[in-house]
Chain A
């Protein structure tokens, strides 16, 4: 037989404050978690006191009850409380997420309410050049571009292209952008940029 040990108690220790300076708090110490709860309750009480209706009720309580006795009592109770084997703040977090989250899910996503009609997002269509006009596009090299319509080339800085912008080639339709007998090939070096200015209407191919 082999004995297998668990070191759970080493990791499962609760931090407690036994004394502040030379002042002893209590024989068993005060859990740090309880102090945090107390501070959180006090903060909540302060906020609640400022709220229109609740504040009225809170302000009717005497200060020693509102700012001392009740928060201390509540923090003590909460620090003792264990729900489903967990401390209060972990349980509270789960419950808040549960209550605020969706109850019905489809594909593990929030399920749409009854009667909801799904409409797709705008669909992006990439042209293959067979339509009747020069489309607006940006292309970054390396690569080659075949231009099949009348066009004008401008060597100009292309703003907003690439990581820092930079110089590139601007291509725009010339006149009606009539088709060329022979296509022109533009070879782009690495990081070379081509910007095509789209034509409004035309029969050209690009």
Chain B
């Protein structure tokens, strides 16, 4: 048997000699399921465009790469990447990562990698096209062709010119592809992995160090530089023992014995709806399986002129059959009649102005397992996943089909090819995936697909990638948003971050964890004279917001029907205090008012009441009184219970006095958090705030959040805003939210309207009934996750460690 690959040079793969060169590319896979129909169609058109623009035979390989659990653990425990505070918690972190690694190994997840190989050889045409092309070439080209055909020299020899021509052609193909798809040339190490992994299928991943590259012997022949590829170099990549057992292969690989079955798709459905799982044959079914399978689509390009000729011949054939049937006693069959119509439809399709080609394709599936029994079970599951599309397992052709899965191969098994339109091939969505989350960071959970792909989340992604840092978590009571917030807090703590946890409901348990408790300072915000001035806006607000924040706070404390002169008095007093006092406070403002004219005195008296009582006293600091320092510990826990708040959706003008006070306190807490977080610029800081709708539905709250956001980018601060309500104001201001929120988690909802609003928040279609129902049916801990780059996927948040699950649960245990 001839070696399937002779030589690899950059991304050029020489299959059967120098004349059969292919350019290999890696297609970036992208999340797909939660795209809008329009976006899915756009993806279809891009792929169609690429296939038609290539005008060459193609091979699409969608292979599964095992998720590297050990690499994750090593990467996350690398001491060089950790802050000094995190190194102090190295023990806890190590045990946490061990649990993660164990879970990831249990998941045995795989991620898809998509390769696109394009033949650099002219596609095979019919004789008429061939002759017309030959005439265009001229005698010198003919002579070269004849010489090449009759040459007695070894055909594996490659002149330097030919190699250069192949490289240039590969670059041209890349330029053509780039207009349609996110592709990059495959590296030699990736091609080596692609070949070697085929032998380890179902057992593990080969260890590819990337140090070995195929070489060629360069010499001079008749004044021309010639290369003789060292065949053994590529052969080394296939150095495995393969036993052909009729309907399966047994491969002795470096990862153990791999049992493999090669399947091939039979007839595809006649009519399909796109988008839809039935059409997405290279995405929906493989992603629905709990194990990885490899798919290979080997397509021969039939140019439009050739396709037209074939279609015309088929019309004649179909008509002839109909005529013959009509002469018989039973008359024309339905199939015969429909075939004539379809043949004419095909002709009309091919005569369209875009001059579409046809692709004679075979779609093969390779399944691997570590034992024969497991292989049979997997084959059965795979067949069930494909449903109406029959998967054949050809006897005696397993080896040929195995080779068909190697790069730069054409269809090797006859009888299974189907002539497809580029639309059909594109609709298979080979590059679709469930990719979501960050490239680095802790394991967050897994996608709710059959393949259960692990999702990572990096709290620093917003600042690292210069995107919004804020994390928004929305969901009904008990849906899992508080647990998520606490998980993120815990991971931030393990990373050595400064954590500020504001808990209006008093159900957070993060600060009680055994390893966290010694690093916690608890500042219970309650009407306590000892805490008076803790939230004074003139002390805690950023310098540029301090005056406005103080005026807003004091003005909202005034009676609803206060005269405009009162507001002017407040503004004047704040201004005076800020100019004259070295450490201005709101109590100073009250004192300044009491020293003023009659109106000022009245205002001062009214405010003095608030400065001495209730929660509002937290906003009036006495410069003479020194409060206990806050922010010395890694975790600051701020419980504040029974904070008065308006009903969601209520107009601001209708707020009662206590509701206005509540709103002001929320703002003060946000400013206090900013104040605490501004202390250490280079340290990761996390501010977790429940009841986030109060901030997000209020313009001033959003302005505060915007400040936090800016701080997030430049000073590594990450606000986590959790809310059980998606207020109308939030949706109405979605564009401004776009500039605020980085990642969004939408947990289960309890009403249709809430679900619709949550979908709008994710930039999904709120009118989509199916998606709304999905949100209503989401179980606790499951959510739709929109990452920093806008990709949406349904995921299960995974706490992994049983002790942590029990400790962080917000549901009381009886």
A residues at B contact (CB < 8 Å):
1-13, 15-16, 18-19, 24, 27, 29, 83-87, 90-91, 93-95, 97-99, 101-111, 140, 142, 190
Q: How far is the CA of A109 from the CA of B238 in the complex (A)?
A: 10
* B273 A4 Cβ-Cβ under 8 A: yes
B residues at A contact (CB < 8 Å):
1, 3-4, 37, 41, 44, 222-223, 235, 238-246, 264, 266-276, 279, 310-311, 314, 317-318, 321, 324-325, 327-330, 335, 338-339, 342-343, 345-346, 349, 390, 392-397, 399-400, 403, 413-416, 418-421, 423-424, 427
* A85 B266 Cβ-Cβ under 8 A: yes
* A86 B415 Cβ-Cβ under 8 A: yes
Using known A-B contacts A8-B419, A9-B335, A94-B397, determine if residue A2 contacts B273 with beta carbons closer than 8 Å: yes
* B396 A95 Cβ-Cβ under 8 A: yes
* A107 B335 Cβ-Cβ under 8 A: no
- Give chain B residues whose Cβ lies under 8 Å from the Cβ of A142: 223
CB < 8 Å neighbour of A5 from B245, B270, B329, B413? B270
* B396 A97 Cβ-Cβ under 8 A: yes
* B238 A107 Cβ-Cβ under 8 A: yes
- Give chain B residues whose Cβ lies under 8 Å from the Cβ of A86: 392, 394, 414-416
- Give chain A residues whose Cβ lies under 8 Å from the Cβ of B349: 7
Taking A7-B419, A85-B392, A97-B396 as known contacts, 11 extra A-B pairs with beta carbons closer than 8 A to each other, sorted by chain A number, are A1-B37, A1-B276, A3-B274, A4-B271, A4-B427, A8-B268, A9-B270, A13-B321, A85-B416, A98-B395, A106-B241
CB < 8 Å neighbour of B241 from A10, A105, A190? A105
* A140 B222 Cβ-Cβ under 8 A: yes
* A103 B268 Cβ-Cβ under 8 A: no
Q: How far is the CA of A110 from the CA of B270 in the complex (A)?
A: 42
Q: How far is the CA of A19 from the CA of B326 in the complex (A)?
A: 12
Task: Closest B residue to A2 by CB, please name it.
Answer: B274
Q: How far is the CA of A95 from the CA of B195 in the complex (A)?
A: 26
* B244 A98 Cβ-Cβ under 8 A: yes
CB < 8 Å neighbour of B273 from A3, A8, A94, A99? A3
Using known A-B contacts A3-B271, A6-B268, A18-B328, determine if residue A98 contacts B397 with beta carbons closer than 8 Å: yes
Q: How far is the CB of B428 from chain A (nearest CB, A)?
A: 10
Q: How far is the CA of A10 from the CA of B414 in the complex (A)?
A: 18
Task: Closest A residue to B343 by CB, please name it.
Answer: A10
Q: How far is the CB of A171 from chain B (nearest CB, A)?
A: 21
Q: How far is the CA of A7 from the CA of B272 in the complex (A)?
A: 12
Can you show 29 pairs from A to B with CB atoms below 8 A apart?
A1-B37, A1-B273, A1-B276, A2-B273, A2-B274, A3-B272, A4-B279, A7-B419, A9-B270, A9-B335, A10-B311, A10-B339, A13-B339, A85-B264, A85-B390, A99-B396, A102-B1, A103-B244, A103-B245, A104-B241, A105-B243, A107-B3, A107-B235, A108-B1, A108-B403, A109-B3, A110-B1, A111-B241, A142-B223
Q: How far is the CA of A24 from the CA of B223 in the complex (A)?
A: 69
Q: How far is the CA of A15 from the CA of B324 in the complex (A)?
A: 11
CB < 8 Å neighbour of B413 from A87, A94, A99, A107? A94
- Give chain A residues whose Cβ lies under 8 Å from the Cβ of B395: 83-84, 91, 94-95, 98
**Majority SS at the chain A contact face:** mixed
Task: Closest A residue to B278 by CB, please name it.
Answer: A4
Q: How far is the CB of B234 from chain A (nearest CB, A)?
A: 10
Q: How far is the CA of A99 from the CA of B396 in the complex (A)?
A: 8
Q: How far is the CB of A202 from chain B (nearest CB, A)?
A: 29
Q: How far is the CA of A84 from the CA of B420 in the complex (A)?
A: 21
* A9 B342 Cβ-Cβ under 8 A: yes
* B328 A15 Cβ-Cβ under 8 A: no
- Give chain B residues whose Cβ lies under 8 Å from the Cβ of A107: 3, 235, 238-240
- Give chain B residues whose Cβ lies under 8 Å from the Cβ of A29: 324
- Give chain B residues whose Cβ lies under 8 Å from the Cβ of A2: 41, 44, 273-275
* A16 B273 Cβ-Cβ under 8 A: no
* B328 A24 Cβ-Cβ under 8 A: yes
* B242 A108 Cβ-Cβ under 8 A: yes
* B342 A108 Cβ-Cβ under 8 A: no
* A4 B321 Cβ-Cβ under 8 A: no
* A7 B321 Cβ-Cβ under 8 A: no
9 nearest A-B pairs in the assembled complex, by CB-CB distance? A98-B396, A18-B324, A86-B415, A90-B415, A94-B396, A85-B392, A4-B272, A105-B242, A2-B274
Q: How far is the CA of A16 from the CA of B413 in the complex (A)?
A: 25
Q: How far is the CA of A83 from the CA of B403 in the complex (A)?
A: 22
* A103 B243 Cβ-Cβ under 8 A: yes
Using known A-B contacts A1-B274, A9-B338, A11-B314, determine if residue A84 contacts B393 with beta carbons closer than 8 Å: yes
> Most chain-A CB neighbours within 10 Å: which of B335, B394, B403?
B394
Q: How far is the CB of B696 from chain A (nearest CB, A)?
A: 36
Task: Closest B residue to A15 by CB, please name it.
Answer: B317
Q: How far is the CA of A27 from the CA of B419 in the complex (A)?
A: 29
* A4 B399 Cβ-Cβ under 8 A: no
Using known A-B contacts A8-B419, A85-B266, A98-B244, determine if residue A13 contacts B318 with beta carbons closer than 8 Å: yes
Q: How far is the CA of A29 from the CA of B322 in the complex (A)?
A: 12
